[in-house]
Amino acid sequence: MQIIPAIDIIDGKCVRLTQGDYEQKTIYNENPLEVALEFESIGIKRLHLVDLDGAKLGKVVNYKVLEKIASKTNLSIDFGGGIKTDDDIETVFNYGADLATIGSIAIKNKPLFYSWIKKYGAEKLFLGADVKGDKIAVGGWLETTDVSIYDYIEEYLKEGIKYVFCTDISKDGLLQGPSNELYKNIITKFPQLNLTASGGVSQLSDLNELKKIGCSGAIIGKAIYEGRITMNQLKQFIKC
Burial (CB count <10 Å: 0-12, 13-18, 19+), residue 13: middle
* Element of type H or E holding 235: helix 231-239
Residue 134 bears catalytic tag: no
Catalytic residue among 78, 88, 130, 172: 130
Residue 53 bears catalytic tag: no
Residue 144 and residue 138: Cα distance in Å, rounded? Answer: 6
Residue 71 and residue 112: Cα distance in Å, rounded? Answer: 29
> What one-letter code names the amino acid at 211?
K
Pick from 99, 182, 108, 173: nearest CA to 138: 108
For residue 4, give the DSSP letter.
Answer: E
Burial (CB count <10 Å: 0-12, 13-18, 19+), residue 87: exposed
CB 179, CB 168: distance < 8 Å: yes
CB 137, CB 170: distance < 8 Å: no
- Rounded to the nearest 5 degrees, what angle is found at the Cα of 226, between the Cα atoms of 163 and 131? 35
Positions marked active-site: 8, 130
